[in-house]
Each structure stands twice: as C-alpha cells, then as structure tokens.
Amino acid sequence: MKVFTGSDHGGFLLKQTLIKKLTELGHEVVDLGTDSQNSCDYPDFAHAVAEKILAEPGSMGLLTCGSGIGISIAANRHAGIRAALCHNSLEATLARQHNNANVLVMGGRLVGEALALDILEKFFSASFEGGRHQTRIEKIEIPCERL
C-alpha cells in the first residue's frame, strides 16, 4: 500500500521511526516533509498529505505533530479524509474497522516509541467492516449547510 507521510518539527522524530516500520511492513512510503526539527507549520503537511491521498484512491496517510491535534484538524478539513488521532491500539483498530479512517495521526510529544509502533501496526493491519458503519461514514460527507 502507498502511504503518504507528513509532520511538523514536533512530530519529526516519531515520523522517522514510523516510516522505518512502514517500510519493514512492505508499504511504499512517500514522505512529504518536514525533513528536520526546525520549526515549521503543521497545516502545510496535513494539506499536502490529504491532497495526495485524495488524488490516489487506495492510498493512506500518516501524520504526526507535537500533540497530533492540530495536524488532524487540518487534515480533516478535506472531504474524504478521515484522520484519526490515536493514543492506543484499540483506537487504531476501531478507527479503521468502524470509521474507515485513511490517515493515522499521533503526537510525537505524547506517544512513546513502543506504543506508537504497536498503534501503527494495528491501524495498518485492520480493515473497514462496512455494514452499519458505511451509512455513518456517508453522513460525515454531508455539507454543513444541509445539517
């Protein structure tokens, strides 16, 4: 699977660790930056990853920033992106199974390396269950003016 990655300076080190694991798991990784711990703005990378995923159906994403909050908010501004901020393995599994999340988000300052690797493995090995969850996913895409 093709996985687009991005981070700001606060998520850079965690992203590097997770890229290595994704490659070991056989995924094709395209890193869209940042490439250092120099201060930068997380929305730039969230938007870049979201746009690539939307342009390449079937691809997925991985985003990290200091807390994971800002970068997930920015990514979720794109219709069709379901970025899930995960702090444990169960959240990662359920994000895929029930929410058909296509972007995994973690906070580089909040999640330790061993836990992050477990979260990553659970997220990328789980599959969307469909069924009753599909209707809920479809409701996410309703334009705000219709609500």
- Give the catalytic positions in this structure: 65, 98
Cβ neighbours of 22 (radius 10 Å): 22
CB 56 within 8 A of CB 73: no
Amino acid identity, position 77: R
How far is Cα 91 from Cα 97, in angstroms, rounded to an integer? 10
Closest CA to 63 of 109, 32, 118, 105: 105
Q: What is the number of helices (H) and of strands (E) in the chain? A: 6, 5
Please state whether 142 falls in left (phi above 0), alpha (psi between -120 and 50) or beta.
Answer: beta
